[in-house]
Amino acid sequence: MAHSILPCCSINSCLTTKTYLKNNNTCSAVFYNSVPLQTCKYPGTVLRPCKLRPRRQSIIYATATPMSQEIEKSTLTGSPQSSSESSAKSKKVMIIGGDGYCGWATALHLSNKGYEVAIVDNLVRRLFDHQLGIDSLTPISSIQNRVRRWKSVTGKSIQLFIGDICDFEFLSEAFKSFEPDSVVHFGEQRSAPYSMIDRSRAVYTQHNNVIGTLNVLFAIKEFSQECHLVKLGTMGEYGTPNIDIEEGYITITHNGRTDTLPYPKQASSFYHLSKVHDSHNIAFTCKAWGIRATDLNQGVVYGVRTDETDMHEELCNRFDYDGVFGTALNRFCVQAAVGHPLTVYGKGGQTRGYLDIRDTVQCVELAVANPAKPGEFRVFNQFTEQFSVNDLARLVTTAGKKLGLDVQTISVPNPRVEAEEHYYNAKHTKLIELGLRPHLLSESLLDSLLNFAIKFKDQVDPAQIMPTVSWKKIGVKTRTVSV
């Protein structure tokens, strides 16, 4: 079996950021709490040996310093620089998972809107890419360079806390240091196929997501009781019931009695199930501890550009197109750009809610600006339009023709276990009521997405296009994803 060499130290709070950066994002040291790791949380990997070194302080601060300064000077230790532009009334927002696709765009957007922003991330997503041999289509800078570039372009600071939210000591320090008014929690393993590779990835996904969220809830209770939690859930928690999907709750009359109850959840992967469990834990702590929370059941996000990421090439967001992390529309655009037939799974009638990344940042801003009340567990369905997979294939084919592309579509055996033809009608009015102005999927947007994919088509690895993870073949043995 092929193994990949995975740097593990950055998963933990004793990260040697310097080494990680110097070696082209490949770190050669592996230790945890000053003890070399004997077993890795990330199976299918071989850990490189390392020298025993004392653990650094459990929290690593990185501040945005001018680009001319050396990376070494700014990435490790020291107190976080307080944002020069923050005023007494500026609100502090902690973005967990702020180095990821939705989190990075949101961190920049909120910073641009005058919020004081801190990113918390253990960079594990970059490690999954190394582990699976996949990469963002767009070149993405290190998180340290990203925040330095943001500072040089806008003059605004973003604080960085590099560490794992499953490590409560690390998370506590971050909370005590930053004292957030809101926490936006994107920091999870978010791929359904990744969670279905094998037992170890299923266990990792549920541990990472459920324990991470539980730690966030305890941190709010212990250190920031007024803090509003904005948690990214997914529309996939509901499944595809044969009735309309409500926003979080449904009123049911049963045997003559009526109650308003949480809407039934029918998740269809170990990843989606982790989100369901998160929702239950959050709802419970709202009741038990009076926590204020908003669960954003997000649809599938597409697009790559936002006003802020467009400001400089080093602020560019990631664009996943592979069979594990790529989402449907992004994948179809890349397939069209490189002349690969669009890969419709099975009959293609699978219908889901979709939204533009520019609406993700808008929705989160609206949730943060209009917090839930103490004890309230608020649920919003965060998407703007519904499409079936066949609808998307047709839209990309038409847009591709206009650009002179010969776009073909094939049906490939569905690697997932899901209904391929079904009723789907999900409500999504609450964010509109708060002021969301959707960017709907127009022809011009598809043109620009396709043009973006064409611009980077030489970076496409054709081996990553077809799905490689099967729901039915999930096994006990650790396995690599074939390339």
Ligand X SMILES: NC(=O)c1ccc[n+]([C@@H]2O[C@H](COP(=O)([O-])OP(=O)(O)OC[C@H]3O[C@@H](n4cnc5c(N)ncnc54)[C@H](O)[C@@H]3O)[C@@H](O)[C@H]2O)c1
Give the nearest distance from C-beta 342 to ligand X in angstroms: 18
* Residue 236, CA distances (Å) to 138, 287, 326, 349 in order: 27, 24, 16, 16
234 is catalytic: yes
Packing angle, helices 199-206 and 270-289, rounded to 10: 20
Extract the tokens encoding 227: 């803090």
Give the nearest distance from C-beta 95 to ligand X in angstroms: 10
Give the nearest distance from C-beta 477 to ligand X in angstroms: 24
**Between 102 and 465, whose beta carbon lies closer to ligand X?**
102
**Between 42 and 49, whose beta carbon lies closer to ligand X?**
42
Extract the tokens encoding 195: 């969670």
The three-class DSSP label of residue 387 is: strand
Exposure string of 154-169, with b = 16+ CB inside 10 Å and e = fewer, is bebbbbbbbbbbbbbe
Is the separation of the CB atoms in 232 and 272 below 8 Å? no
Q: Which residue is nearest to ligand X (CB)?
A: 100
Active-site residue identified among 204, 238, 271, 354: 271
Nearest to 63 by CA among 48, 54, 72, 74: 74
* Residue 447, CA distances (Å) to 102, 350, 403 in order: 22, 24, 8
**Between 101 and 223, whose beta carbon lies closer to ligand X?**
101
Extract the tokens encoding 386: 């519904």
Torsions phi, psi for 386 (to 5 deg): -110, 140
Nearest to 354 by CA among 323, 386, 328, 378: 386
Give the nearest distance from C-beta 283 to ligand X in angstroms: 17
Find the distance separating the first CA and the last CA of the chain, reported in whole Å: 13
Extract the tokens encoding 49: 């040996």
Mention every residue, 6+ apart, whose C-beta is less than 8 A from residue 25.
126, 130, 142
Give the nearest distance from C-beta 112 to ligand X in angstroms: 18
Per CB under 6 A, residues contacting ligand X are 97, 99-103, 121-125, 164-166, 186-190, 208, 212, 232, 234, 298, 300-301, 327
466 beta partners: none
**Between 173 and 188, whose beta carbon lies closer to ligand X?**
188
**Between 343 and 404, whose beta carbon lies closer to ligand X?**
343
Mention every residue, 6+ apart, whose C-beta is less than 8 A from residue 369.
none
Active-site residue identified among 17, 106, 138, 234: 234
Helices (H), 124-257: 124-132, 143-154, 168-178, 192-195, 199-206, 212-223
**Between 208 and 384, whose beta carbon lies closer to ligand X?**
208
Give the nearest distance from C-beta 360 to ligand X in angstroms: 8
Looking at residue 207, the DSSP 8-state letter turns out to be: I
**Between 118 and 410, whose beta carbon lies closer to ligand X?**
118
Give the nearest distance from C-beta 156 to ligand X in angstroms: 20
**Between 65 and 298, whose beta carbon lies closer to ligand X?**
298
Cβ-count burial of 79 within 10 angstroms (0-12 exposed, 13-18 middle, 19+ buried)? exposed
Give the nearest distance from C-beta 273 to ligand X in angstroms: 12
- Strands 182-185 and 228-234, by their bridges, are parallel
Give the nearest distance from C-beta 110 to ligand X in angstroms: 15
Mention every residue, 6+ apart, whose C-beta is less than 8 A from residue 163.
12, 13, 15, 58, 59, 60, 120, 122, 170, 171, 174
**Between 146 and 226, whose beta carbon lies closer to ligand X?**
146
Active-site residue identified among 275, 302, 309, 430: 275
138 is catalytic: no
Exposure string of 425-464, with b = 16+ CB inside 10 Å and e = fewer, is ebebebbeeeebebeebeeebbebbbebbbebeebbeeeb
275 is catalytic: yes
Q: Which residues are catalytic?
A: 234, 271, 275
